[in-house]
Amino acid sequence: MKKTLLTSLLSLTLASSLMGYDAAKAESYNAFYSNMTQKVCASSKLFISAEDTMKLIQEDKKYLLVDVRTKGEASVFKFSDAKALLIPIENLFEKKNLDKLPTDIPVIMVCHSGTRGTMAAVGLKQIGFKNIQVLKGGFMALAKANTPAAAPQK
C-alpha cells in the first residue's frame, strides 16, 4: 500500500510538472509572436541603425539611450550624454526603473552587441511601451559609426 501510494504521488507530481507552465502567459506570448512573420520582422521598426542613432545624437533630437549592460561593463566605457541611463537588464523591470522611461520620446536600448537590448525591448513592448527601439549591433556598431563626420558637434 505504501509503495502504491508513493508511486501514485510520484506519478502525479511528474504529470503536474509536465503541465506546469503558465497558460495565461503562454497565450499572451502566442498573441504577441503570432504576427512575427519573416516579412514583418524584416520591416520591423524595432531596430535603429548606429548611423541613425549618431544622427539623433548629432542633431540633438529628443531621445533616451538606455544602457542595459552590467555596471562592470559600463565602468569600462559608457555614454557621457545626459540623455542616457544605465539600467542593467537584471534591474530594468523594477517599478522604479520602469518609471524612469519616458513614453513620449524614442527610447533606444543599448548593450554590447544588441542581444540584451533586443530582449529588453521585446519585454518592454510586451508590457505596453510603444517608443522602444534597439541599437542594432549595440556599442560595437556605434563605435564603427562614430566617424569624425558623424560625431556630435559641441
Q: Which CATH class is domain 45-145?
A: alpha beta
Domain boundaries, the chain: 2-33, 45-145
Helices 23-33 and 115-126 pack at an angle, to 10 degrees, of 110
Q: Is the Cβ–Cβ distance between 65 and 100 less than 8 Å?
A: no
pLDDT at 154 (0 to 100): 57
Read off the amino acid at residue 37.
T
CA dist., res. 121 & res. 130, Å (int): 10
Per-residue pLDDT reduced to its tens digit, 51-78: 999 898 888 889 999 999 999 998 898 8
- Whole-model pTM over 0.75: no
